[in-house]
């Protein structure tokens, strides 16, 4: 049975309840199976009824679409896209759209489920959804991306809308992508509908503070954890895998707090400097050369070495499934702050927790983005415009409250952070599902 975490170090429980009750003998790498394992663990703690479990572990709706796209050379490529709505018991579906060659339906289903738990963990009135198109955005021109986006938007249009399901950016999609989706939607329905997507440009109803929101939320969660673990952020060493929207903003915000960014990376590899990398210089270098690799004043490091290098805080901010049984016993960070969705497999999770490493779970740690997306949607629905100070203050309040609610749940059930966040979130969704009752 579980032992009680030491009250002085509640994020570093000595002996904890197993994260994965009936762990598979082989490491599970399928993201949707991983999402289900995480759900089953929370359902077990909450003693949920079997039929309720069945409802909550299955997506509500899965849409697969063909996206015929005219390329610049005149040829038509037929791409595949998905939109998955996992659960809408607490509000309209909410979740990003990913463009990547490795998108799979199971990945989109997993991310939709994580969105359900994420919106519940920070207690914003949304459900969980996610979308993706299997494509190689780095090899597509802007006009090809626009045509693909508009066709994909029109194919998923019957199931999206400000009160139905609200997309946002994810990997390799951005504010421009959202503007195209919003325009396609508005032209089709015949009226303005800024609340159909979030993460839009400011000029068409985007929110101040959205670009940095995920990184700002992450920083807030890390700061709270550092207080409990008595790690001063000033001078703390931070390694970040992935230098896109989230990773680069996180680097900048950590540096503003006087933490040392000792390594950063992208698809082509990484760079390290134990004395610290200037994130602004790295952002400028990446803008010019397309990668951080080769930037002056830092030595070359592989993505694998970055994950296992000595540092106080490790931030995986790229893809899922990067911390596995192969490297979990070599991770030297004291805190793993999950910016990416699903970067840690359940087996790796177990190893890291047993080694006393604090894993700040994705569904809370990267929830700043969806929190400010919620603020953007509120502003759109009500015709309001909030300034950056107001948005940041509300974000700070939401993230801090959610962190402490996770902490309370951890103490109540004697579990590490991921289990605490999942039990909190699944409990909220279960309650909403039960009180609404089964239709018809
Ligand atoms: P992005 O496309 O802006 O950046 C992704 C970065 O990861 C790029 O620097 C890319 O080079 C790097 N990368 C891709 N594959 C890699 C690999 N195999 N090894 C190392 N680096 C690799 O995406 P983003 O918006 O910054 O999202 C990053 C992660 O954060 C994703 O998992 C996403 O789901 C998650 N997330 C993003 C948001 C958001 O608001 N953008 C919110 C919550 C979670």
d(CA 114, CA 59): 11
Q: Write the pLDDT tens digit of every residue in 253-272.
A: 999 999 999 999 999 999 99
Which atom of ligand 1 has the smallest separation from the CA of 213? 40
d(CA 8, CA 14): 11
| Whole-number pLDDT of residue 11 | 54
Which atom of ligand 1 has the smallest separation from the CA of 342? 32
Which atom of ligand 1 has the smallest separation from the CA of 214? 40
Which H or E run contains 36? helix 31-46
d(CA 219, CA 337): 9
| Ligand 1, residues at Cβ distance < 6 Å | 169-172, 214, 241-247, 265-267, 303, 317-319, 339-341, 366, 369
Ligand 1 site-directed mutation target among 95, 113, 129, 244, most atoms within 8 Å of CB: 244
Which segments of 74-104 does DSSP mark as H helices, in order? Answer: none
Residue partners of 283: CB distance under 8 A and separation at least 6: 243, 248, 252
Q: Are 205 and 228 in contact (CB under 8 A)?
A: no
Ligand 1 site-directed mutation target among 100, 121, 242, most atoms within 8 Å of CB: 242
Ligand 1 center–CA 1 separation, angstroms: 38
Ligand 1 center–CA 143 separation, angstroms: 23
Ligand 1 center–CA 384 separation, angstroms: 30
Per-residue pLDDT for 13 more than 60?
A: no
**DSSP letters spanning 237-272:** EEEEE--SHHHHHHHHHHHHTT-EEEEEEETTEEEE
Dig out the tokens for 110 from the structure. Answer: 């997993």
| Whole-number pLDDT of residue 25 | 58
| Angle in degrees, CA 165, 171, 175, rounded to 5 | 65
| Whole-number pLDDT of residue 26 | 81
pLDDT above 70 as % of the chain: 94
Catalytic residue set: 130
Mean pLDDT of 226-249: 97
Integer-rounded Cα Rg, in Å, for the chain is 21
Delineate the domains of the chain, giving CATH numbers in brackets: 59-204 (3.40.50.10860), 213-365 (3.40.50.720)
Q: Write the pLDDT tens digit of every residue in 283-327.
A: 999 999 999 999 999 999 999 999 999 999 999 999 899 999 999
Q: Are 407 and 251 in contact (CB under 8 A)?
A: no
pTM: 0.94
Ligand 1 center–CA 320 separation, angstroms: 9
Ligand 1 site-directed mutation target among 99, 318, 336, 368, most atoms within 8 Å of CB: 318
Residue with the smallest CA separation from ligand 1 atom 33 is 340
Residue with the smallest CA separation from ligand 1 atom 2 is 171
Look at residues 186, 160, 169, 153 and name the one whose alpha carbon lies nearest to residue 81. Answer: 153
pLDDT above 90 as % of the chain: 93
| Whole-number pLDDT of residue 17 | 52
Look at residues 110, 147, 108, 153 and name the one whose alpha carbon lies nearest to residue 131. Answer: 108
Ligand 1 center–CA 122 separation, angstroms: 21
Which atom of ligand 1 has the smallest separation from the CA of 98? 34
Look at residues 240, 242, 415 and name the one whose alpha carbon lies nearest to residue 315. Answer: 240
| Angle in degrees, CA 430, 434, 438, rounded to 5 | 120
Ligand 1 center–CA 432 separation, angstroms: 31
Q: Write the pLDDT tens digit of every residue in 69-123.
A: 999 999 999 999 999 999 999 999 999 999 999 999 999 999 999 999 999 999 9
Residue with the smallest CA separation from ligand 1 atom 42 is 369
Which atom of ligand 1 has the smallest separation from the CA of 270? 20
């Amino acid at each position: 049975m579980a032992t009680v975490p030491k009250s002085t170090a509640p994020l570093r429980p000595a002996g904890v309840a197993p994260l994965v009750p009936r762990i598979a003998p082989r490491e599970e790498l399928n993201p949707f199976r991983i999402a289900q394992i995480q759900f089953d663990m929370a359902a077990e703690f909450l003693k949920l009824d079997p039929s309720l479990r069945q409802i909550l572990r299955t997506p509500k709706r899965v849409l697969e679409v063909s996206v015929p796209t005219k390329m610049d050379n005149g040829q038509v490529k037929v791409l595949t896209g998905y939109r998955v709505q996992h659960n809408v018991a607490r509000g309209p579906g909410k979740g990003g759209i990913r463009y990547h060659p490795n998108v799979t339906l199971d990945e989109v289903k997993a991310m939709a489920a994580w969105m359900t738990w994420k919106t519940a963990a920070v207690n914003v009135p949304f459900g969980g959804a996610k979308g993706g198109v299997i494509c190689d955005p780095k090899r597509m021109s802007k006009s090809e991306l626009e045509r693909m986006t508009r066709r994909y938007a029109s194919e998923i249009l019957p199931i999206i809308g400000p009160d139905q399901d609200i997309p946002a950016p994810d990997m390799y999609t951005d504010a421009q992508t959202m503007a195209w989706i919003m325009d396609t939607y508005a032209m089709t329905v015949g009226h303005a509908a800024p609340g159909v997507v979030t993460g839009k440009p400011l000029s068409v109803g985007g929110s101040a503070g959205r670009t940095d929101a995920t990184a700002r939320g992450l920083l807030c969660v890390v700061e709270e954890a550092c207080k409990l673990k008595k790690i001063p952020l000033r001078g703390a060493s931070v390694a970040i895998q992935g230098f896109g929207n989230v990773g680069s903003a996180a680097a900048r915000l950590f540096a503003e707090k006087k933490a040392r960014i000792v390594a950063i990376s992208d698809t082509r590899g990484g760079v390290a400097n134990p004395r610290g990398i200037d994130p602004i210089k790295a952002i400028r270098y990446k803008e010019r050369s397309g990668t951080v690799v080769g930037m002056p004043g830092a030595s070359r490091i592989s993505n694998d070495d970055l994950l296992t290098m000595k540092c106080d805080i490790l931030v995986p901010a790229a893809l899922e499934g990067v911390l596995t049984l192969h490297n979990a016993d070599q991770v030297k960070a004291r805190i793993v702050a999950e910016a990416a969705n699903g970067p840690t497999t359940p087996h790796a999770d177990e190893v890291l927790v047993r080694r006393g490493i604090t894993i700040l779970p994705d569904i809370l740690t990267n929830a700043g983005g969806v929190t400010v997306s919620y603020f953007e949607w509120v502003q759109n629905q009500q015709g309001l415009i909030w300034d950056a100070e107001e948005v940041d203050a509300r974000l700070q309040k939401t993230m801090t409250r959610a962190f402490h609610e996770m902490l309370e749940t951890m103490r109540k059930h004697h579990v590490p952070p991921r289990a605490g966040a999942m039990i909190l979130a699944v409990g909220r969704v279960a309650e909403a599902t039960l009180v609404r009752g089964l239709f018809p």
